[in-house]
Amino acid sequence: MAIIGILGGMGPLATVDFINKLIALTPAKQDQEHLPYFLANLPQIPDRSAAILGQGNDPLPMLRYGIDKLNHVGVSVVAIPCNSSHHWHEEMSRQCFAPILHIAKASTLAIKNSGGQCVAILATRGALKSGFYQRELERANIDWILPETMNAQIDIDQCIHAVKAGNLALSANMLMQALEKIGKQNIDSILMACTEIPIAAQHISTHGLILVDSSMELARATVGYALSNNFLHHQ
Amino acid sequence: MAIIGILGGMGPLATVDFINKLIALTPAKQDQEHLPYFLANLPQIPDRSAAILGQGNDPLPMLRYGIDKLNHVGVSVVAIPCNSSHHWHEEMSRQCFAPILHIAKASTLAIKNSGGQCVAILATRGALKSGFYQRELERANIDWILPETMNAQIDIDQCIHAVKAGNLALSANMLMQALEKIGKQNIDSILMACTEIPIAAQHISTHGLILVDSSMELARATVGYALSNNFLHHQ
């Protein structure tokens, strides 16, 4: 049986949001037409951003523990709906029996396909320090700016933290505050490169900016992989 | 590591709804304070209600496959957010290394604690034929009526089917239609004994009836079990 593996819990609401997208993207009229998945939801994985910044415990042992569980039950592709954890994509891929899709590659492809030329990257400080998004975008000849240069990173930090604490009203306010600063720049889209941010974005009114949702793009890549590899016919 | 096991996919949206309830019921201000879980989401499990009615394939082999995967990863308690599958609770419990919570016991306890004396049972035809809800309620001295006697079971069937097909507007209409018929009876609450029905109920306005949500009661039992058994201190 071909089954999707998901390493989640980073955070728990972002994982649920990702699963909702998987379900919505799957053409199904009854249970049996939906995609099967195993989800290792491990919120105890130490803070990824803090670790990259040298301020917290190393999450890699517990990321490996999760990959090991997915290896154990036998999955055929893995998706990880947490951007910052992709700092360890290579290490996890070496351990994983199945390919691990890359959230930054999926998101960059979406921007490229929609003709985007300059984006603002909304992410954790750790993900930005790691630089894997910047490298992907450069490889695709897409320019980028960072919220820090317009003093908006602090709003992004607070937005992400508020989603993790379940305070969606506060998260929406913080995101609005960031977008007001960022929207004045010469960009054509905003890349929500942290899976908490799309949850906050559900609670704000539109404001004339194109928001690219990294969680949605990873979900599209996952459903696309599963359907094109006939997961539903391998049951 | 003490971890919750969830056997889901019956259906996929009901599973997500259950996880959302788990998260909301957990007092947490950051990722690491949330409960870890491993979810085997297997929508390919044959239709439980049809099987009980003698009209479909036996789901037990695939239910056992799911339990086996949860055994494999080493979970400490199991929750199954699908009422009809509890027809096989005993068979699954014999195979499972961890205790499997019982959705009908959790729901009956909630009705008992709130002083309910007569409920209408909204469930699949299979679950009603199996009779495990009726037996639990009788054991607790709670009277019950079935929608069939007021010609409302057909509306319940269509409500459930519409949620599984992702048509929430239709599901809400069908549930409203059933409640209009059932609300005229002499009952004090409505037991939503199918995990698809609470999803439809989110889309209807209130109507003066107490709705008991079996998925919520299972989530309460699960979080209660995990916290009282110190899952968060066994990491």
Q: pLDDT tens digit string along B123-182?
A: 999 999 999 999 999 999 999 999 999 999 999 999 999 998 889 999 999 999 999 999
Residue A54 region by backbone torsions, left for phi larger than 0, else alpha for psi between -120 and 50, else beta: left
The ipTM value here is 0.94
Residue A151 region by backbone torsions, left for phi larger than 0, else alpha for psi between -120 and 50, else beta: left
Any bridge partners for residue B8, and if so which?
Answer: B41
Are A42 and B29 a contacting pair at CB < 8 A? Answer: no
For residue range A160-191, list pLDDT tens digits in order: 999 988 899 999 999 999 999 998 889 999 99
Over residues A96-108, mean pLDDT: 98
Decide if B118 is catalytic: no
Band of the pLDDT at B108, cuts 50, 70, 90? very high
Q: Is the pLDDT of residue A111 over 60?
A: yes
Whether chain A has a CB inside 8 Å of the CB on B45: the answer is yes
Q: Is the pLDDT of residue A207 over 80?
A: no
A1 contacts on B by Cβ (under 8 Å): 44
Over residues A11-21, mean pLDDT: 95
Distance from C-alpha of A145 to C-alpha of A149, rounded to nearest angstrom: 8
Between A6-20, A85-99, B202-216, the lowest mean confidence (pLDDT) is in B202-216
Distance from C-alpha of B181 to C-alpha of B208, rounded to nearest angstrom: 14
Are B164 and A30 a contacting pair at CB < 8 A? Answer: yes
Distance from C-alpha of B130 to C-alpha of B134, rounded to nearest angstrom: 9
Residue A192's pLDDT is: 98
Structure tokens, A27:
């053409």
Are A166 and B40 a contacting pair at CB < 8 A? Answer: no
Q: Is the pLDDT of residue A20 over 90?
A: yes
Whether chain B has a CB inside 8 Å of the CB on A72: the answer is yes
Distance from C-alpha of B127 to C-alpha of B191, rounded to nearest angstrom: 13
SS3 B103: helix
Chain B residue with minimal CA distance to A18?
B16
Q: What is the DSSP letter of B28?
A: -
Are A41 and B36 a contacting pair at CB < 8 A? Answer: yes
Residue B164's pLDDT is: 86
Whether chain B has a CB inside 8 Å of the CB on A56: the answer is no
Q: What is the DSSP letter of B46?
A: P
Are A38 and B34 a contacting pair at CB < 8 A? Answer: no
For residue range B202-222, list pLDDT tens digits in order: 998 767 788 999 999 999 999
Band of the pLDDT at A234, cuts 50, 70, 90? low
Is the bond into A8 cis (omega within 30 degrees of 0)?
no
Q: Is the pLDDT of residue A235 over 60?
A: no
Whether chain B has a CB inside 8 Å of the CB on A41: the answer is yes
Residue B206's pLDDT is: 65
Whether chain A has a CB inside 8 Å of the CB on B41: the answer is yes
Q: Position of tokens 């993790």?
A: A164
DSSP A52-79: HTTSS---HHHHHHHHHHHHHHT-SEEE
> Which residue from B46, B47, B214, B52 is spatially nearest to B125, judged by alpha carbons?
B52
* Chain B stretch 168-197, residues whose beta carbon is closer than 8 A to a beta carbon of chain A: none
* Residue of A3, A31, A65 to mutate, testing the B interface (most B Cβ within 10 Å of its Cβ): A31
β-pair type (B210-213, A37-41): unpaired
Residue A1's pLDDT is: 77
Q: Is the pLDDT of residue A23 over 90?
A: yes
For the whole model, what pTM was predicted?
0.95
B1 contacts on A by Cβ (under 8 Å): 44
CA dihedral B4→B9→B11→B16, nearest 10 degrees, is 50
Residue A206's pLDDT is: 65
Return phi, psi of residue A155, to 5°: -70, -40
> Which residue from A69, A99, A98 is spatially nearest to A9, judged by alpha carbons?
A69
Highest-confidence range of A23-27, A205-209, A214-218, by mean pLDDT?
A214-218
Residue B234's pLDDT is: 59
Evaluated on CA atoms A64, A69, A72, A77, the torsion sign reads negative
Is the bond into B183 cis (omega within 30 degrees of 0)?
no
Band of the pLDDT at A209, cuts 50, 70, 90? confident
Measure A44 CA to nearest chain B CA, in Å.
4
SS3 A194: coil
Q: What is the largest CA-CA distance in chain B?
A: 51
Decide if B82 is catalytic: yes
DSSP B83-105: SGGGGGHHHHHHH-SSPBP-HHH
Whether the Cβ atoms of residue B98 and residue B5 lie closer than 8 Å to each other: yes
For residue range A25-39, list pLDDT tens digits in order: 998 888 899 999 999
Chain A residue with minimal CA distance to B70?
A73
Are B31 and A45 a contacting pair at CB < 8 A? Answer: yes
B11-38 exposure pattern, b = at least 16 Cβ within 10 A, e = fewer: bbbbbbbbbbbbbebbebeebbebbbbb
Whether the Cβ atoms of residue A27 and residue A33 lie closer than 8 Å to each other: yes
For residue range A34-66, list pLDDT tens digits in order: 999 999 999 999 999 999 999 999 999 999 999
Mean pLDDT of chain A: 95
Are A19 and B16 a contacting pair at CB < 8 A? Answer: yes
SS3 B36: coil
